[in-house]
């Protein structure tokens, strides 16, 4: 084993560091001007999650969205509680856990009056109109509904995937009242994709990886501005900005300081990372996978707490981001993947490591890895990643992590 910290979960670290409570698994953000330091105040009890306008749609959405990449069929009480706390933006996908869409459908069968309260998102992995239609029909059936509020093409990698055929499909699906709005999610090359989408004129919403690490970069700030100008509603995901690996011998002190600082303010580190994103008023909502009632409560508490992050809070998050940059894949896939042959999806594999090591979900990592073409998996063993490593702005140990993917996920 080359990495002594491999498998050392974030949760275990939080326990070790004595962080307060537990927050979101996923989060992101832009920073508006930070206010000056304020004395700690008691945290409020959860009431109703605030709402924000979603782009030009005129639709108000809850600023906290329930990410449904788990078995919602087995978590019906949580859906009920989410509605009661005002977490009324629900996110799922055709490809998620079998119990995700079906779980929401089960809930709507029991509480049909709640359907109109929910801003419902699901996603298609297909790109051709016929395939998208097939998946939409399957989603409608599983979800036990006649319409989807916002329908995403899932994991868009290039703006070329959103061609005129897709545009016509979206227009027809709206005319048929099967979807209200249309957009896409993306994990890679986010800023260029957002810029290109802003020029299309027919994209209503985008969900992108957005967090305290990338929110300050000029590229992401310009991309957000372009989308806002174009009236595109923005949902942040991966807002906790978890890494693909750890070396806490280098970063333990910074992480401990961060956790202790926010504990003194009555927040967990995870809640603070959510607040960093919400501090940008242009982000309509944060999609967070909340697979326990405790996590749902912690995130709802953070959303209703109106205390802003101070300049010191923001500076500490940035210091932590710097200290741990080599652990975090920024999904600038064009940079590293252009340096290796065989179209190996380096940034995707980095995400699978994150699923395994931070989310504690090795089965997700294995499932995604198994979906890669067999040839790509074979080429991982023999490809020389030195040029990719040399280009990586995060200085990630790409060679080692690609080999470990073979050891851990194959």
For ligand SF4, the closer CB: 167 or 400 = 400
Q: Which residues contact 224 (CB under 8 A, 6 or more apart)?
A: 30, 194, 234, 280, 282, 283
**Tokens coding 227:** 């989308």
Options 72, 398, 402, 405; binder of ligand SF4; rule CB under 6 A: 398
Q: Which residues contact 188 (CB under 8 A, 6 or more apart)?
A: 157, 331, 332, 333, 347, 348
Q: At its nearest, how many Å lie between ligand SF4 and the CB of residue 336?
A: 3
For ligand SF4, the closer CB: 103 or 243 = 243
Q: At its nearest, how many Å lie between ligand SF4 and the CB of residue 401?
A: 8
For ligand SF4, the closer CB: 4 or 393 = 393
Of 72-80, 134-142, 173-181, 389-397, the segment contacting ligand SF4 by CB under 6 A is 389-397
For ligand SF4, the closer CB: 40 or 390 = 390
3-state secondary structure of 100: helix
CA distance 24 to 310: 20
The three-state DSSP-derived secondary structure of 158-211 is CHHHCCHHHHHHHHHHHHCCCEEEEEEEECCCHHHHHHHHHHHCCCCEEEEECC
CA distance 178 to 360: 36
Of 29-37, 139-147, 292-300, 390-398, the segment contacting ligand SF4 by CB under 6 A is 390-398
The reply on whether position 344 binds ligand SF4 by CB under 6 A is: no
Options 194, 346, 372, 405; binder of ligand SF4; rule CB under 6 A: 346
Options 94, 269, 331, 408; binder of ligand SF4; rule CB under 6 A: 331
Q: Which residues contact 364 (CB under 8 A, 6 or more apart)?
A: 69, 352, 355, 356
The reply on whether position 335 binds ligand SF4 by CB under 6 A is: yes
Give the chain's largest Cα–Cα span. 57
The reply on whether position 396 binds ligand SF4 by CB under 6 A is: yes
The reply on whether position 291 binds ligand SF4 by CB under 6 A is: no
Options 392, 397, 404, 408; binder of ligand SF4; rule CB under 6 A: 392
What phi and psi, each to the nearest 5 degrees, are found at residue 29?
165, 155
The reply on whether position 354 binds ligand SF4 by CB under 6 A is: no
The reply on whether position 224 binds ligand SF4 by CB under 6 A is: no
Which residues of the shown chain bind ligand SF4 in the complex (CB under 6 A)?
A: 329-333, 335-336, 346-347, 350, 392, 394, 396, 398
């Amino acid at each position: 084993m080359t990495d002594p910290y491999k498998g050392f979960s974030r949760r275990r670290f939080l326990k070790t560091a004595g962080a307060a409570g537990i927050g979101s698994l996923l989060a992101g953000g832009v920073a508006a001007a930070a206010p000056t330091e304020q004395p700690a105040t008691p945290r409020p009890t959860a009431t109703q999650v605030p709402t924000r306008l979603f782009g030009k749609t005129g639709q108000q959405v809850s600023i906290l969205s329930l990410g449904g990449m788990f078995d919602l069929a087995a978590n019906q009480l949580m859906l009920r509680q989410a509605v009661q706390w005002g977490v009324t933006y629900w996110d799922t996908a055709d490809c998620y856990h079998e119990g995700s869409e079906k779980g929401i459908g089960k809930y709507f069968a029991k509480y049909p009056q709640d359907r109109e309260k929910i801003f419902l998102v699901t996603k298609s992995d297909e790109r051709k109109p016929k395939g998208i239609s097939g998946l939409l029909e399957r989603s409608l059936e599983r979800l036990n509904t006649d319409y989807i509020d916002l329908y995403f093409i899932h994991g868009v990698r290039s703006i070329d995937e959103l061609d005129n055929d897709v545009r016509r499909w979206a227009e027809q699906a709206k005319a048929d009242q099967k979807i209200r709005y249309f957009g896409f999610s993306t994990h890679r090359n986010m800023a260029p994709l957002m810029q290109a989408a802003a020029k299309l004129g027919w994209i209503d919403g985008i969900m992108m990886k957005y967090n305290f690490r990338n929110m300050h970069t000029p590229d992401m700030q310009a991309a957000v501005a372009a989308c806002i100008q174009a009236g595109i509603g923005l949902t942040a995901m991966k807002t906790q900005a978890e890494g693909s690996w750890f070396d806490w011998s280098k970063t333990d002190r910074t992480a401990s300081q961060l956790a202790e600082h926010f504990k003194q303010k009555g927040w967990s580190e995870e809640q603070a990372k959510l607040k960093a994103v919400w501090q940008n008023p242009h982000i309509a909502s944060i999609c967070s996978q909340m697979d326990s009632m405790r996590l749902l409560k912690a995130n709802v508490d953070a959303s209703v707490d109106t205390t802003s992050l101070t300049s010191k809070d923001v500076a500490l998050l940035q210091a932590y981001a710097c200290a741990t940059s080599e652990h975090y894949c920024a999904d600038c896939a064009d940079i590293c993947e252009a340096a290796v042959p065989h179209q190996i999806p380096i940034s995707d594999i980095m995400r699978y490591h994150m699923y395994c090591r931070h989310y504690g979900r090795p089965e997700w990592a294995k499932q995604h890895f198994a979906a890669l073409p067999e040839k790509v998996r074979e080429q991982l063993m023999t490809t020389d990643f030195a040029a990719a490593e040399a280009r990586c702005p995060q200085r990630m140990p790409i060679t080692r992590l690609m080999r470990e993917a073979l050891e851990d996920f194959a």
